[in-house]
Amino acid sequence: MSSQTMPLRAIKVIGHRNPDTDSICSAIAYSNLKNILDPEHPCKPCRAGLINRETEFVLDYFKVPVPQLYTDVSPHIRDVDIRPARGVDGETSLRRAWMTMRDQELDTLCIVDGEQKLLGVITVKDVATANMDGLDPHTLEIAGTSYQNLIDILEGTVLVGDVTNKTVGGRVIIGAGSVEQMERAISPGDIVIVSNRSESQLAALEMDAGCIIVCSDGKIPRTICMLAEEKGCTVITTSIGTYAAGQIISQAAPIRHYMTTSKLLTFTLHTPVEEATRVMATVRFRYFPVLDDDGKYIGVVSRRNLLNLHKKQLILVDHNEKSQAAEGIEEAEVLEIIDHHRIGAVETDGPVYFRNVPVGCTCTIVYQMYRENDVEISPTMAGLMLSAILSDTLMFRSPTCTPTDERAARELAELAGVELEKYADAMFEHGGDVSGKTAAEVFSGDYKIFTSGEVRFGVGQGSYMTEKNRRAAQALVGPYLPEARTKQRLDYIFYMFTDVRNSGTELLMAGAGAEELVEKTFGVEVKDGMAVLPGVVSRKKQMIPRLINAIKQEQE
């Protein structure tokens, strides 16, 4: 996870919320083009919502995986430089822990098991407290300290005994007094720190010490070693002096004995930076463990890391309005916009590449860019772009359709190896099937929110080849509209049920004054909450501009 080992953060190519076929296919096709033209800056197709059945059919037909879901593009912990501080074993001694913190300039270590699962954390303060409070001669025994830790911090050598998997028992005694004093102080099993005085070593053995530590590379007579072996006493020699050995021996205790295990403050890769900042402000810790999607420890973050966050880099396709973009768009860096709608209100920190062309589909623009750059179009990419054009232009029936769209679609059909009309019928038929779907799922299949002055309204659209599918969708969505309007805090909601074959729309609506607005805008009568709009099939060209104009007139 370091800057040296971290993979390049891919630029996310993403469409609008409640994505339609054009939103998904343009993201995939444009990502593919960008990766061919500029592999040093990899792009990744994404989506800001659930795909509808029409898009599902298209991706399945051309065997393309569904893009990753990103409903929120605000910065998360994955967007900061996570410090790859290695997790440590709970058996690590206090001294080794402190040395690691010193060398790595960290004040927190994370203790993990063999599978990198977080067990606890220990801070410099914990180490200092343990060292200052290390006056209890039973500390090493209580902590279940391994002899290996003793040997490690004393830089010692085992002369007698086998310490494999053996833990300390008894107290720690400094054998610096007279023989009589030692005999009174030592109990069976104790660890006794002695010098090179043979009488002190012998006294410890005679009192059945569990281990004697001979300091300053003191000589140990052969008879002492033989007696120690006979009594089962471990003998360790070290070059460290008696005073120093007595000072540091308590630091052999394993950090698991002192680590914090409850109420650990951890973050995941998906934790919003805003939330992490808020949590960090409530405590005095400097570093916080980060866990991956499998709950495994991968590193730590600090307040300083959050200052160096990397905003998500985005390319917007098929939209340019903040109300239609993924959550957190204002905290992301928009690099490009490829669109065919009216110019809305997405603000950028600096100049961006903005390509907005009055054609019927974003994929028509993407197709032009393939041709302009002389990039070969694979059958798969051709099929995706064809599907988007057919969907957005209602198979060339929509007034938004231009000769450029139709020409592109027919060329793409040849490249994809499909029979255009037959494929379009299958795509629309599958997309119009609402069996097994909830009202909310059908409603959000192709839905956008717009703003005119202080009025916010939503317009959804479903395109149907058969009356049966259209009626089934109306029965589901109609009763749901008032609930959806309330949830989204909108003034109005309109939903277009478009008859592709006969080029007309039945419009349902919700909101106080919605019926009067429709009657005024389209010059029709609303009956039972429905308006019949012959010839109206385009939300972008025939619905939105007229609604916005009517709303503006009411506000004047």
Domain boundaries, the chain: 11-75+311-431, 94-130+256-307, 145-252, 439-555
What b-and-e string marks burial along 388-427, b requiring 16 or more CB atoms within 10 Å of the CB? bbbbbbbbbbbbbbbebbbebbebbbebbebebeebbbeb
Quick: pLDDT tens for 160-194.
999 999 999 889 999 877 888 888 889 999 999 99
As a whole number of angstroms, the distance between CA 487 and CA 231 comes to 80
Distance of CA 341 to CAs 238, 473, 493, Å?
Answer: 80, 26, 20
CA–CA–CA angle 19, 23, 25 (5° rounding): 120
| Of residues 323, 320, 317, the one with CA closest to residue 452 | 323
pLDDT for residue 132: 81
In this prediction the pTM is: 0.69
Which fold is adopted by the domain 145-252?
3.40.1390
Which fold is adopted by the domain 439-555?
Diaminopimelate Epimerase; Chain A, domain 1 (3.10.310)
Quick: pLDDT tens for 436-473.
889 999 998 889 999 998 999 999 999 898 898 999 99
pLDDT for residue 8: 59
Matching residue, tokens 């051709």:
382
**Which letter does DSSP use for residue 39 in this model?**
T
- Low-confidence spans in the chain with pLDDT less than 50: 1-7
Task: Say if 145-252 and 439-555 have the same CATH topology.
Answer: no
pLDDT for residue 133: 76
Contact in structure between 508 and 529 (CB atoms under 8 Å): yes
Q: Which CATH architecture has domain 11-75+311-431?
A: Alpha-Beta Complex (3.90)
Q: What is the CATH number of domain 94-130+256-307?
A: 3.10.580.10
